């Protein structure tokens, strides 16, 4: 039976994690509006054990909307499952009053993992310290916005001019720098730039217990045949950079020699690119939610943000853009540093659902937390969980191996389905046809593996095995 909510008027907040591992994430909710201009701030968050959680009230940035939001750290959200929190109205207390702090006069964002210092004149990252190693991430200021003239290509919307670096434009100029919020849950510092006829807003965001610094982008882009990049000069020297590709990663040279290598002045990547020391002692990953073009040298990664072609559409890219990328300095190489996992977390936030008020908060028929499927091997990532095409009572779980080490799921009892359903598994191919092979439990490096989950009425355990 689920525990009672902390008070009768508590509102349930359900956070669903679709990823196949436990995670923590900052959860932000819009607060109910009130006719009392101050009353909307009187809210607190409790967990399922009725413990008060640290939370942070954020004022609305839209002057036409008085809505405020509350942010808190949702810890240990179960794999492919949900966890319930309670949003409760309360009287104004010292706890709430303590959140109304004066914003600092320095431009430093800091949490348990990172310390970032921002330059007031350029908006660049002067320093980004990884606290686990005490190493500086950049050799010169990072997140430099650079603009170039980009024209002369027949396939203008698809190609970047090979000589664009020979045609730099004046860098964006800082118009303002302003704290949006500064608390124990989240810190956001907004830099506003002007470039030609375009306005660029970049709020730096550092969340509690998060090992990467996010750079949000809100851009009103009005340029023509201009290429915009973000440059990251790193304290790393490597002959190779690694880029994510579908269900894998590929390593490319940072010192092109052949004609084919020199023709790859722009490299595609899905959700991340990484430059690490050859001895794997440290490195930096750039995570991205929708920008996929990079260029690299032995000491830098550079991400393409926008361009403005005139063919086939002379108005292409012009307008409002919103996207996010992140800087993740790490020790060791990208594999043990879990770059793949953090990139997925950046791209796939928890899904938040708040039941209507008429749904009773103390409904004992649903548990307050539950995991539907967990993959215990950290090298395996779930890419699909769906009903079988042939039988809706069966499910298909597809995963892939993100490392160069094979995984034996039978030995490690890798897949676990939550009770009360008990299942067994059968290895199938991509068309969901059973495989007749002696390697049904072995997932080779970078391999995609598909399993059919069958209800087993004879077993009472919850472990999925063959």
pLDDT at 356 (0 to 100): 82
The model's pLDDT over 13-44, given as tens digits with 9 standing for 90+, comes to: 999 999 999 999 999 999 876 555 444 458 99
pLDDT at 93 (0 to 100): 59
Of 27-31, 81-85, 260-264, 455-459, the least confident: 455-459
The whole-number average pLDDT for the span 332-354 is 97
Top pLDDT among 59 and 189 is at 189
The model's pLDDT over 413-440, given as tens digits with 9 standing for 90+, comes to: 456 565 544 567 889 999 999 998 766 6
pLDDT at 42 (0 to 100): 82
Q: What is the C-alpha to C-alpha distance for residues 442 and 409, in angstroms, rounded to an integer?
A: 7
The model's pLDDT over 119-147, given as tens digits with 9 standing for 90+, comes to: 999 999 999 999 999 999 999 999 999 99
Q: What is the C-alpha to C-alpha distance for residues 184 and 171, in angstroms, rounded to an integer?
A: 33
How many CB atoms sit inside 10 A of residue 237's CB? Answer: 13
pTM of the model: 0.92
Output the CA–CA distances (angstroms, integers) from residue 178 to 48, 52, 92, 123, 181, in the order listed: 36, 30, 28, 11, 9
Among 232, 255, 251, residue whose Cα is nearest residue 243: 251
pLDDT at 360 (0 to 100): 57
Q: What is the C-alpha to C-alpha distance for residues 240 and 274, in angstroms, rounded to an integer?
A: 9
């Amino acid at each position: 039976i689920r525990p009672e909510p902390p008070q009768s008027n508590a509102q349930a907040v359900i956070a669903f994690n679709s990823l196949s591992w436990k995670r923590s994430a900052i959860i932000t909710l819009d607060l109910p509006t009130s006719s009392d201009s101050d009353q909307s701030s009187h809210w607190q968050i409790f967990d399922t054990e009725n413990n008060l959680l640290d939370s942070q009230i954020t004022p609305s940035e839209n002057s036409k909307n008085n809505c405020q939001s509350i942010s808190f750290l949702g810890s240990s959200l179960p794999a492919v499952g949900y966890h319930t929190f309670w949003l409760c109205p309360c009287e104004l207390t010292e706890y709430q009053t303590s959140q109304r702090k004066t914003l600092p006069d320095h431009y430093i964002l800091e949490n348990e993992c990172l310390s970032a210092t921002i330059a007031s004149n350029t908006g660049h990252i002067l320093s980004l310290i990884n606290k686990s190693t005490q190493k500086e991430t950049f050799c010169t200021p990072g997140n430099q916005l650079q603009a170039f003239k980009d024209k002369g290509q027949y396939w203008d919307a698809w190609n970047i001019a090979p000589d664009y670096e020979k045609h730099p434009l004046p860098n964006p100029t800082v118009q303002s720098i302003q704290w949006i919020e500064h608390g124990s849950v989240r810190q956001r510092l907004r830099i506003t730039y002007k470039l030609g006829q375009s306005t660029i807003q970049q709020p730096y965001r550092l969340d509690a217990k998060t090992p990467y610094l996010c750079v949000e982008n809100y851009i009103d882009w009005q340029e023509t045949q201009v290429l915009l990049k973000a440059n990251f000069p790193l304290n790393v020297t490597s002959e190779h950079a690694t880029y994510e590709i579908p269900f894998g990663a590929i390593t490319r040279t940072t010192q092109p020699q052949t004609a084919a290598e020199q023709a790859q002045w722009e490299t595609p990547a899905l959700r991340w690119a990484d430059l690490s020391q050859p001895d794997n002692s440290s490195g930096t990953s750039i995570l991205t939610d929708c920008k996929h073009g990079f260029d690299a040298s032995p000491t830098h990664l550079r991400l393409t943000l926008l361009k403005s072609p005139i063919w086939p559409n002379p108005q292409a890219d012009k307008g409002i853009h919103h996207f996010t990328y992140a800087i993740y300095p790490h020790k060791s190489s990208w594999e043990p540093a879990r770059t793949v996992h953090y990139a997925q977390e950046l791209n796939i936030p928890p899904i938040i659902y708040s039941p209507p008020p008429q749904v009773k908060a103390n409904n004992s028929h649903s548990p307050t937390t539950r995991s539907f499927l967990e993959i215990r091997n950290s090298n395996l990532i779930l890419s699909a969980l769906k009903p079988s095409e042939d039988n809706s009572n069966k499910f298909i779980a597809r995963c892939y191996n993100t490392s160069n080490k094979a995984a034996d799921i039978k030995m490690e009892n890798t897949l676990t389905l939550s009770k009360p359903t008990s299942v067994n598994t059968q290895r199938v191919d991509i068309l969901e046809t059973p495989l007749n092979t002696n390697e049904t439990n072995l997932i080779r490096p970078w391999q995609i593996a598909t399993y059919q989950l069958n209800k087993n009425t004879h077993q009472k355990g919850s472990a999925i095995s063959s």
